[in-house]
Structure 1
Amino acid sequence: MKIALVHDYLTQRGGAERVFELLCKRYPEADIFTSLYDPEKTINVGDRLVNTTYLQKIPGATKYFRLIAPLYFPAFRALDLQEYDLIISSSTSFAKAVKKRPDAKHICFCHNVTRFLWDTETYLREYSDYRYFAPLITKVFQAMRDIDLKYAQEPDIYIANSTTVAQRIQKIYGKPAIMVNYPIDTSNFIFSDTKDEYYLASARMISYKRLDVIVEAFNWLGWPLFISGDGPERKRLEAKALSNIKFLGHVSDSQRKDLFSKAKSVIVAALEDYGLVPVEANASGTPVIAYGAGGVLDTQIHGKTGVFFKRQTPESLQTALLESGGISWNYENIRNHAVNNFSEQVFFSKVERVIAQACI
């Protein structure tokens, strides 16, 4: 069976790209396709050929890839995938549009519906550089919705990473989705049942991550907090943070492992579609304190692997922090929860059952 692996664009390294990297490793004989490829800023695919679209020839496209949104659908439609029996796409937007042979199968790992089209206001708030062009961008995005709906019918099977995303796919695209929680490489995390006194937040510093809520809560409590990551919100957050809060910026993989394993808890204040950080924390034996909505409801057990807070406010987070302090955590059980439910082995056993059913 000849397999094609397709991803929206390989110009960054986020959760979606890490999942695609796992797919590339699992299917080493598969051919890789994407719209744009910047090997220095994305996943490592070794010496494998990455096939790109004509967009790759546009000067600056890999850097300003968000500015050419209307061009992606025709670029993916132009890819010739007629020789492939199985197409596995990894998409939050465009890759689901690829064409296949009538007898071939297309399985789409849909990380979300095309969010900038269906939640434009949040998208523009997150990427404030584009706010000045909001009237024009909004009109363009509205025109693209019909195209997105049309090409959303191309995949034969959707796989969603969470209940939340599966519900969105059904609501907006009218397509059922099989829910399979995405995995982490549990061997990449260090287990420790000895915790230091600091708390940890690890996230891109953009508005929807709600790091402002975390900073305000810890300003009031005075407890030590480390924040790893970078982004456009960093200066604003640093300006309001007191001396008990330390901004670490980008950290190496080895530093990140150590931070996760020794933290008293990892804090997540965003409404995440899925969210790998809580699972990574658990794989380190570390409990999570998270806003109780979205993907964490699929991955966390209140009182066993973490604590939920009900509102994205400093006061609600403070209540959860105090509750967490009264729990006698079993760090080994937290680690086992991650290994038993979110390992690559568990993930691919589910995925390959789906593929086998699709290809009968």
Structure 2
Amino acid sequence: MKVAIVHDWLVVDGGAEKVLHELLTLFPEADLYSTVFHLPEEKRRFLNGKVPKTTFVQKLPFSGRLYRNYLFFMPLAIEQFDFSSYDLVISSSYAVAKGIITGPNQVHVSYVHSPARYAWDMQHQYLRESGLNKGFKGILARWLLHRFRIWDARTANGVDHWIANSQFIARRIKKIYGVTATVVNPPVKLERFEIKTEKDDFYLVASRLVPYKRIPLVVEAFSRTPDRKLVVIGDGPDMANVKAKAGSNVTVLGYQPDDVLIDHLTRARAFIFAAEEDFGIMPLEAQACGTPVIAYGRGGALETVVDGETGLFFQEQTAEAIVDAVDRFEQDGVAGTPGDFENHVKSFSSEVFRRKIRELVDAATTRDSLPSVRLRSVRAEQAA
């Protein structure tokens, strides 16, 4: 088979990129495609040496920094890729990658991290947070998102096999596209982590600093309780807001390399997770270090944290709810032993992920379901 892998955009090394790394490892001969590619050399290791083919958005002004501003060009851009020579195309999608064009003699498998949140059920939240819920700009943004939804729903017909990263996202896919997806959770490289029971006296939050992650909310909660220490790792548009809310007990480290992040995950008293996340790999990485997770009890966290055993849930995205959850944690702790933490995270290992993806792709590309391979085989036999 000739294989192509398509990713929305390559500008950071985050959770979706960990999935992409595993796909590139499973299919080392695959060609890689992305709308834009702006990764510094030191952050490209997960690409296994591959350089993606990009779209015209790559050449637009300041696309490395303003790529989100070009979102409404991306449906057109992603459709310009020519996949006619491939047997199998795998899209790694949280925005536009699933909208690629393939033919009836090809198989398109889409691993969906999430349908575009800002265009569907979280539209109103995103518009409020970006200041686009009023005035002419608000009207224009709503119209553009309306057009995007029409395109997004239409292109769902081009996917042959759907994979969701969690049950939460499978439900979102069913609601939006009316199709059933198989769930394969993202992988955790367990060999990078070691469970330790001795913890230091600080809490940790680590994430891209974007609005839906709710990092300023966590900072606000800890600033209200100055006897507790919080360390913040990450960078992004919300950095100024984070620093503005940080009290003297909050240390903002900004972006840190993996070794520093893992060191803090291992030593933290608990990891704080306030987002309604599609899945969330970071809480699993914390648990792989034996670090409990205090999480908002919605979305993917319900599938990755065992309430009362490997973490605790709070039910509202408010500073008061976070403070109350930390109070409960300090009073009662969690019941899980190091063995419980280890057994829980094993089911999310890279090996499990690769096995499940391989089984699904093999089933999707059997001789009967891959007409292009069968046609070439027949032609070769006739020529012989």
| TM range, smaller chain | over 0.9
User: Deviation of residue 23 (structure 1)?
Assistant: 1.2
Measured in 2, the distance between the counterparts of 1:61 and 1:329 equals: 46
Equivalent position of 2:123 in the other structure: 120
Equivalent position of 1:353 in the other structure: 359
The partner residue of 2:53 within 51, 54, 76 is 51
Deviations 1:134-184 (A, max 9, x none): 322221121222111111221111111111111111111111111111112
Equivalent position of 2:347 in the other structure: 341
Measured in 2, the distance between the counterparts of 1:297 and 1:77 equals: 35
Q: Which runs of 5+ in 2 are unaligned?
A: 367-384
Equivalent position of 2:189 in the other structure: 185
Equivalent position of 2:65 in the other structure: 63
Measured in 1, the distance between the counterparts of 2:336 and 2:168 equals: 28
Equivalent position of 1:224 in the other structure: 229
Q: Residue 342 of structure 1: SS of its match in structure 2?
A: coil
Measured in 2, the distance between the counterparts of 1:100 and 1:306 equals: 43
Measured in 1, the distance between the counterparts of 2:126 and 2:224 equals: 30
Equivalent position of 1:317 in the other structure: 322
The one-letter code matched in structure 2 to 1:228 is I
Q: Computing the radius of gyration over CA atoms, which structure comes out larger, 1 or 2?
A: 2
User: Deviation of residue 297 (structure 1)?
Assistant: 0.7
Q: Which runs of 5+ in 1 are unaligned?
A: none
The partner residue of 2:86 within 74, 84, 87 is 84
Measured in 2, the distance between the counterparts of 1:275 and 1:8 equals: 18
Tell me if the contact between 2:201 and 2:269 (Cα under 8 Å) persists in the aligned partners: yes
User: Deviation of residue 296 (structure 1)?
Assistant: 0.7
Q: How many residues are aligned here?
A: 359
User: Deviation of residue 268 (structure 1)?
Assistant: 0.6
Equivalent position of 1:26 in the other structure: 26
Q: Residue 82 of structure 2: SS of its match in structure 1?
A: coil
Measured in 2, the distance between the counterparts of 1:189 and 1:265 equals: 15
Give runs of aligned pairs for residues 139-288 of structure 1, distance below 5 A. 139-221=143-225, 222-288=227-293
Question: Relative to structure 1, is the Cα distance of residues 256 and 117 closer, same or farther in structure 2, using a 3 angstrom cutoff?
Answer: same
Measured in 2, the distance between the counterparts of 1:29 and 1:111 equals: 23
Measured in 1, the distance between the counterparts of 2:242 and 2:60 equals: 36
Q: TM-score, normalised by structure 2?
A: 0.87
Tell me if the contact between 2:279 and 2:301 (Cα under 8 Å) persists in the aligned partners: yes
Deviations 1:48-72 (A, max 9, x none): 2421223333343333212222222
Which region of structure 1 is more displaced relative to structure 2, 295-304 or 93-102? 93-102
**Superposed CA RMSD:** 2.1
Q: Residue 139 of structure 2: SS of its match in structure 1?
A: helix
Measured in 2, the distance between the counterparts of 1:312 and 1:31 equals: 41
Tell me if the contact between 1:190 and 1:257 (Cα under 8 Å) persists in the aligned partners: no
Deviations 1:5-43 (A, max 9, x none): 011111222221221122112211111111211231864
Which region of structure 1 is more displaced relative to structure 2, 155-164 or 49-58? 49-58
Q: Does 1:304 align with 2:306?
A: no
Question: Relative to structure 1, is the Cα distance of residues 76 and 265 closer, same or farther in structure 2, using a 3 angstrom cutoff?
Answer: same
Measured in 1, the distance between the counterparts of 2:247 and 2:174 equals: 44
Q: TM-score, normalised by structure 1?
A: 0.93
User: Alignment identity in percent?
Assistant: 36
Measured in 2, the distance between the counterparts of 1:314 and 1:49 equals: 43
User: Deviation of residue 80 (structure 1)?
Assistant: 1.2
Q: Residue 247 of structure 2: SS of its match in structure 1?
A: coil
User: Deviation of residue 295 (structure 1)?
Assistant: 0.1
The one-letter code matched in structure 2 to 1:92 is Y
Q: Residue 159 of structure 1: SS of its match in structure 2?
A: strand
The partner residue of 1:330 within 318, 332, 337 is 337
Measured in 1, the distance between the counterparts of 2:115 and 2:48 equals: 30
Equivalent position of 2:17 in the other structure: 17
Q: Does 1:101 align with 2:107?
A: no
Equivalent position of 1:292 in the other structure: 297
Question: Relative to structure 1, is the Cα distance of residues 130 and 19 closer, same or farther in structure 2, using a 3 angstrom cutoff?
Answer: farther
